[in-house]
Structure 1
C-alpha cells in the first residue's frame, strides 16, 4: 500500500468486516458479499421478509401455486369423504368426481359458492366450513402481503456505471452521479462515500471516510454529481491509478433520502472498484433547455463520459 495511505487516519469499520474476501464488499446493485452461517433454518420473520422483498413474478407465482395446492388438498379430502355426500350433476368417473371436488373447493375457499355443488352430510359440511375459515384467513394474509409490498418505500436510484477522476477547481476530483428513475419527489438527499483498501501485509481491509464537496442537497428533481475533491487534505492526493489497483480499492456509496410520497426515509447503495474508475475523463451534460424553456434531462446520458487529457499513471 502506498506510504501516503499508511499515514491516512482510518475510520471505524463500516460493518462489512475487516477480513478481505472478494474484491468488493458491496455489489453494484447494493447487495453485500457477506454470507451469514449458523442461522436458524426457519424463522417466521424471514418468511415475511422474503415474501415482501421477492420479485413480483415470483410472488404472484407463489400465490398461484399455494392456491392450486390448497384446492388440490381439499379436493382429495372431499374425494375421501365420498362425492355421494354432495348434491351435484356430474358423472361418477374419477376424472369427473375429481373435477367437481376441485372446483367445489375453489368456490368454497373463495366464498363464491355458485350452488351447483353443495355438501349434504355432516362430515362434508364440516370440511367445507373449515375450508371457508381457511379461505378467509388466507385471503386476509394475502391482502396484507400485497399492502405491505405496495406500501414499502423503495429507492429507485440509478448510479452511473463508472466513476471518473476529472479536473475540479484546480485539482482533481473523484466523481460519480445518480438520478431518480421515478416521478416521485425526494428531498434532503444525503451522500456518504467511503474508501476501502486492502493491506497486502495482513490481507485485512481498511476504511477511510472521504469528505464530499457537497454531502447533502435539499431537492433532487434532476441528477446529482457527487464530488470528492482531491486536494492536499484528501486521502487520495498523490495516489495513482496503479496505486488504487494495487490496494484493491473500493469506493462504497450510501445514499439517504426522504421520500415525499410515503413520508419515509429510503436508502440506496452501490460501489466502484478501481477498475470502474475512469481516469482523465468527465461526465457529459445531461440537462438541456427545451424549446419551451423547461429544463429537460436525458436520463439515457447518465453514463456518458468524454476523455480529456491522458490519465496520470505510474
Structure 2
C-alpha cells in the first residue's frame, strides 16, 4: 500500500476539527459581549496577541504617555509664562517650546535626567503632574515586563518542543491489531512525565448544514509515560473500541478523526503543558510500523530523530479486528475435537 502526500482533493474531503499543530479549526461567531470579555481579561488578551502587535501596542503606550504629559507641561509653561523671558522663577526650567516640553516628559518618565530641564519646587501643579506620570510609568513598565515574560514562557512555546509523529500506524502486536502513534521531546537533557489520551471524533453534516459532533474515548494501553526517549502510544483495537468492526478499506472511506493529546509537567519549570494533534483517515497507515530510533553505542543510547516519522510496511490483515478475532478463534466443533484428543491421550 503506497502512501504519498495528501492531495488537495483528499484534504478537502475532510474538514479537520483540530489542525496538525494542535490548534482548533473552529471559528466562533456572535459571541455575547465579546469585546467586554476581552477588556475584562486584558492581561490574557495581551498575552495572546502576536509579538508584532504587542510590540506596536507597547511602543504606542510609551509614546502616547510621553506626548500626553508633554502637552500638560507645555500648558503649564504657557499658563505660568515660562515661554517669555521673565525675572520670576519658571515652573519648569528650559521649557520654552512644545518640543522642550515633550523632551522633559520623556526624560522624566525614563529617568534620563540630562540636567538641562528641571522642575521648580514652588510649582505645585508641575509636582502633581510629575508624580502622576511616575505612577503611570510604573504601571506601563509592569505590564510590558509581565506580558513579555508570560509570552516567552508560554506553554504553547514549550508544547512545540514536544510533538507527535506526522502519521499513525495500524499493525499486529501480540496477536492483536493496534493503532499507535509516536510522541517525543525534541529538546535534549529533559525528563518529561505525562499522560496520553485519545478520542475518536465524528462530525455528521446534514443537508441543512447542521453538524452533529460525537466523541468516543480510546483506551490507551499505557497512558502514563516517562518521556526519556520517543515512545509509541498504543491503542489495542478490541471489543468496545470504536475501530473494532472497521477494516482497512472502511477506514480509508471513513470520516473519523483521531484527536490525541499528551499532558505533562516540565522538569525545568514545573509548569503543566499539553501538546495536541489529530489524525484523519489519510494520516493512518494500515500495515506499517515505526522504524526503530534507539541504538546502543558505548556507554550511552543514541536516538536518531531522522527516523521519528518514518514507517516500514509489514504484513498485517486488511480485515477488521473483529473479523480477525473470529478467524483466529477455533469453532465449537474444533474445540470439541481438541478436548476429545486430549482425553484420549490422558487415557
TM-score range, shorter chain: 0.7 to 0.9
Match of 1:104 in 2: 104
Match of 1:216 in 2: 224
- Any conservation in 2 of the 1:71–1:102 contact (CA below 8 Å)? yes
TM-fit CA distance, 1:226? 0.7
Choose between structure 1 and 2: higher helix proportion.
2
Q: Output aligned runs, 1:15-34, within 5 Å.
A: 23-34=15-26
Match of 2:284 in 1: 277
TM-fit CA distance, 1:57? 4.7
Q: Does 1:190 align with 2:195?
A: yes
Q: In structure 1, which of residues 164, 184, 204 is the aligned counterpart of residue 212 of structure 2?
A: 204
Q: Output aligned runs, 1:113-192, within 5 Å.
A: 113-120=113-120, 121-149=123-151, 153=155, 154-155=158-159, 156-183=161-188, 185-192=190-197
TM-fit CA distance, 1:247? 3.7
Match of 1:41 in 2: 35
In 1: Cα distance, 2:98 partner to 2:309 partner: 58
- 2:135 aligned counterpart, secondary structure: helix
Q: Does 1:294 align with 2:300?
A: yes
Q: How big is each residue's C-alpha offset from its partner over 1:236-291, in whole Å with a ceiling of 9 and x where there is no partner?
A: 1341344335441010112121222333432222211112222232222222234x
What stretches of structure 2 of length at least 5 have no aligned partner?
A: 1-13, 84-90, 321-347
Match of 2:46 in 1: 51
TM-fit CA distance, 1:192? 0.9
Match of 2:260 in 1: 253
In 2: Cα distance, 1:56 partner to 1:286 partner: 36
Q: How big is each residue's C-alpha offset from its partner over 1:287-313, in whole Å with a ceiling of 9 and x where there is no partner?
A: 2234x4311223343222233459948
TM-fit CA distance, 1:207? 1.8
The 1:47–1:182 alpha-carbon spacing in structure 2 relative to 1, beyond 3 Å, is farther
In 2: Cα distance, 1:174 partner to 1:144 partner: 43
The TM-score normalised by the length of structure 1 is 0.76
- 1:204 aligned counterpart, secondary structure: strand
- If you compute each CA radius of gyration, which structure gives the higher value, 1 or 2? 2
Q: In structure 1, which of residues 234, 237, 241 is the aligned counterpart of residue 241 of structure 2?
A: 234
In 2: Cα distance, 1:59 partner to 1:184 partner: 32
Q: How big is each residue's C-alpha offset from its partner over 1:58-89, in whole Å with a ceiling of 9 and x where there is no partner?
A: 4344322322222222233333444735323x
- Equivalenced residues, count: 285
What do you get for the CA RMSD once the two structures are aligned? 3.2
In 1: Cα distance, 2:204 partner to 2:124 partner: 75
- Any conservation in 2 of the 1:186–1:257 contact (CA below 8 Å)? no
Match of 1:5 in 2: none
- 1:42 aligned counterpart, secondary structure: helix
- 2:195 aligned counterpart, secondary structure: strand
The 1:149–1:309 alpha-carbon spacing in structure 2 relative to 1, beyond 3 Å, is same
The TM-score normalised by the length of structure 2 is 0.70
TM-fit CA distance, 1:194? 0.8
